[in-house]
Amino acid sequence: MADVRTQLVNRVRGMLSHALGATRDQLAAARSDLDAATGRLGRTRRAARRVPGQAAEQRDHRIADIETRHAARLRELADAAATAAARQAPGAAGAAWADWRPTPPSRAEAPGSLRIGEIPIAGSRVPALVPLLDAGHVQLTGDDPAGADAVAATLLLRAVGRAEPGAVRLVGYDPEHLGGGLAGFAPLSTAGLLTFVGPGGLTGLLDELVDQIRRINEQVLAGEYLSIRELAAATGRRPEPWRVAVLLGGEEPSRHERAQLDRIARTGATCGVHLLVRDLDLPDVPTVTRLRLSAGAAEVGDYPGLPVTLDPAPPPALLTETCRRIAARVSAGPAPAPFTDLLPPPDAWWRENSANGLTAPIGDGPQGRPVRLTLGDYPPHALIGGPSGTGKTNLIFAWIGALAARYSPTELEFYLLDFKEGVSFARFAQGRRDPSWLPHLRLVGINVNTDREFGLALLRFLADELRRRAEAAKRHEVTKLAELRVVDPTGHWPRIVAVVDEFQMLLAGRDAVAREAADLLEDLARRGRSQGIHLVLASQDVRGIEALWGRPALVAQFTLRIAMPKALRILEERNDAAQTLPRHHAVVNAESGMVEGNQVARIPTASDWQTWQDVQHRLWRMRPPRATPARLFDGDAIPRLRDAPDFQALRPAEADPGEQRPAPVRTPVALLGEIIDVQARSAGLRLPRAPGRNLAVIGTSVEEACAVLDAAGRSLHRQQSPGAARYSVACLDPDAEPAAMALYDALGGDAAWYDEETVPELVAETAAGLRGGPAEPHYLLLYAVDAAAGQLGAQLDGRTGLEHLRQVLHDGPERRTHVLAWWRGVARMRADLGGPAARTDQIGAWVALDVQGSELTSLHPGTGGPDWYPRPWRGLFFDRSAHRTGQVIIPYRAGP
């Protein structure tokens, strides 16, 4: 038992010893771990004490790096913002006042945003821009009235300076200061770019702006575009100006005014209608920019934390001078469009058919679309009116060019007549400087202000052409030109456009020319439409044309009316659209001038010589092979006999081989001058073997009288073979001797010369020679025969020279002896013929020069003398056997 106990004790002791050792080992290990942990704790504590400093250092470094990069980014963004602002507000929209000047854009684009000040960002100053034109409206609030005035002036001047002159129109409503808030802009009012509405006028102003928005949406945008800006970008032309209503305070708007303000704020920007208001509330819509002003600074409504340093107000001198220059530019009118805008594409020239009418553009309208003119069944004729210098002739040029490029000469012919003292239409005809001509042209009359007979001749020609076409239509059983061209395709049936500039000259006075011209005009205007004959009449003013009194039907036929700026009485009485037209514009109205038919067109400049010459040369090169130049009648030019077609056609008659003597012309014709007519024709006096076939030239103009006798002698000589006729030239006026001698030399050996001393012998011998039978033709060309009254009064062979002369006049024509004599007055001629009671039958034809019509009563049939008023280088030719009334002629210049 004891051993067991001992063993147990030893075992326990061993176990305890072992446990103690293990415990000691664990304690040592624990102490070691404790020491290690204590060391780590110390190290950790030491490290922990170092971490805040390192973290703070890293944090500070990181923050500094972020701040550096942020500042650089801010500077980058500020520079980019400044660059973008410069692009968004270029030139006048954003320049500083020291360097500011108007800078209109090159295209019809909006000026963009407008600078009002600067925003300080990261040491940079970024322009502060406000959208206005084509973008929205601006509302100014705050307690800084001076700042509000400065911002308003800044926005308006920048807008006006950045747009084309006249493209921004201001309306001011300033009931408190009566316009004083916009005093610097006052020069704009002289050009209609600034108007003021007085107190109580706000309702009318807002109603007018709403009507403008409605009109633009309906008529200009017309569902094709969403805004004026989009239309301008698509067409390159802005059809409407910007309208800015500047509302500077006033009483609280009424309910109606508030509703109109809301409409404008919502819909005005797309139509170019804008509001700039102070002390008035605008609705909360995206198009409204609100600026709160305080002590030279501003806050933009949507960005309250972004302060804006306002620019100073524009210098007063800069403001007024800029407005004055813009007003002057607008008053001078816009530059015209180029003439080439009216021309078709190069491959489309002469491709149009005129069977149903003539249509061509004359310019572009406010919307940028072409305004076209039509001549056909309706409207058939055109009336153009406007004061001198407003562009009537330029419009005619443009219209002619647009038509000529579209219609070939087989489709269209022009007859042009200008009663002004000028040569405007001469460029269309062949000239010395330019041999080209407009292939469509058949007639040009220039400098005809004193030759109304030429205008009458044109109307007679057109009346004959109208009859020819009407007869052809009747034969083919049709009524209109289009139908005639179908049934007679081989005929020549172009449409005819006759242009008469300053046509009132043709109808001036109450004489026979005016009456007949008015009758012909009325007939052509009434019946010409169906036969393709169209009249275009231009005048400064149709008032006072006596020939039109009592002829309302005549003017009513001209349903196409074109009114130049300030034109009167061209449009209907209530239609005053022409009174506000700028230069280079016209009102085109195809409804007889009624207001409803108005179209405003900007007319290109077609009067530039080089531009027109390029077009004419191309048309000339396209001319048909057999085309001939048009007839050019120049009232200031004196024709030459050698150039006259009738003179060139004269030839001697061929002699009969069995006859020993050359055969004379059967019926000689003496050419006296050029007839004022559409065709270049000579006035001829036929000299058959018949009583009275003598000629009297009456007047005191030596040069003109000599010219008539010279042409008569040369033309008679051209018809005779050498030796077939005799010519006796007697000159009794020293001033006429050079011309008479030149004729004598031209007649050669067939002529004999007589003077004061020998002329009695001439008439005596000639009278004596009449006793036999018919002899060779004998022509007595007597210059100033009345000057020999003393010599002819003397007795010779029992009779005086005057008695011999009377016998030659009476009996000579039947024996081929004809007198072509110049008397220096009607009374002198009648004295030589036997006195006031003597008959004048032996003078079968006469040419009156500087003689009043009343003096010719005894020589003219009917009661009273002819309607004749002398003028330089014109004569009145009357042949009893051929004329009912006198015929105005232009004597040919004497000489070869």
- 16-30, 348-362, 381-395: which has the minimum mean pLDDT? 16-30
- pLDDT tens digits along 348-371: 999 999 999 999 999 888 767 889
758 has pLDDT over 50: yes
pLDDT at 736: 93
Q: How confident is the model at residue 793 (pLDDT cuts 50, 70, 90)?
A: low
pLDDT at 779: 95
Percent of the chain with pLDDT over 70: 91
Q: How confident is the model at residue 79 (pLDDT cuts 50, 70, 90)?
A: low
662 has pLDDT over 80: no
Angle between helix axes 316-332 and 145-162 (nearest 10 degrees) is: 30
Rounded Cα gap, residues 139 and 129, in angstroms: 14
Rounded Cα gap, residues 793 and 791, in angstroms: 5
pLDDT at 665: 47
DSSP 894: S
pLDDT at 432: 78
Which range in 147-156, 541-550, 673-682 is most confidently predicted, on average pLDDT? 673-682
Rounded Cα gap, residues 372 and 342, in angstroms: 10
Rounded Cα gap, residues 676 and 192, in angstroms: 50
Rounded Cα gap, residues 891 and 116, in angstroms: 78
654 has pLDDT over 70: no
pLDDT at 352: 94
Query: Which residue in 14, 12, 288, 290 sits closest to 151, CA to CA?
Result: 290
- pLDDT tens digits along 313-326: 889 999 899 999 98
Structural tokens at position 443: 């007639």
Q: How confident is the model at residue 118 (pLDDT cuts 50, 70, 90)?
A: confident
pLDDT at 262: 93
Average pLDDT over residues 331-353: 84
Q: How confident is the model at residue 486 (pLDDT cuts 50, 70, 90)?
A: very high
Question: DSSP 3-state assignment of 778?
Answer: strand
The residues with which 658 forms a beta bridge, in sequence order, are none
Bigger pLDDT: 367 vs 715:
715
Q: How confident is the model at residue 75 (pLDDT cuts 50, 70, 90)?
A: low
Question: What does the buried/exposed string (b/e) look like for 536-555 if buried means 16 or more CB atoms within 10 Å of the residue's CB?
Answer: bbbbbebeebebbeebeebb
What does the mean pLDDT of the chain come to?
85
- pLDDT tens digits along 293-307: 887 777 777 666 678
Rounded Cα gap, residues 511 and 501, in angstroms: 20
Bigger pLDDT: 534 vs 60:
534
Average pLDDT over residues 594-599: 90
pLDDT at 41: 82
611 has pLDDT over 50: yes
The DSSP secondary structure of 248-264, one letter per residue, reads E--SPP-HHHHHHHHHH
Structural tokens at position 383: 């009336």
Give every CB contact of residue 746 below 8 A, 6+ residues apart in sequence: 713, 714, 717, 896
pLDDT at 664: 47
CB 341 within 8 A of CB 604: yes
Average pLDDT over residues 849-872: 86
pLDDT at 33: 82
Bigger pLDDT: 664 vs 472:
472
Rounded Cα gap, residues 670 and 673, in angstroms: 10
Q: What percentage of the chain's residues is helix, strand, coil (to nearest 5)?
A: 45, 20, 35
Give every CB contact of residue 716 below 8 A, 6+ residues apart in sequence: 668, 669, 670, 687, 725, 727, 779
pLDDT at 45: 79
Looking only at the bridges linking them, the beta strands covering 495-501 and 412-418 are: parallel
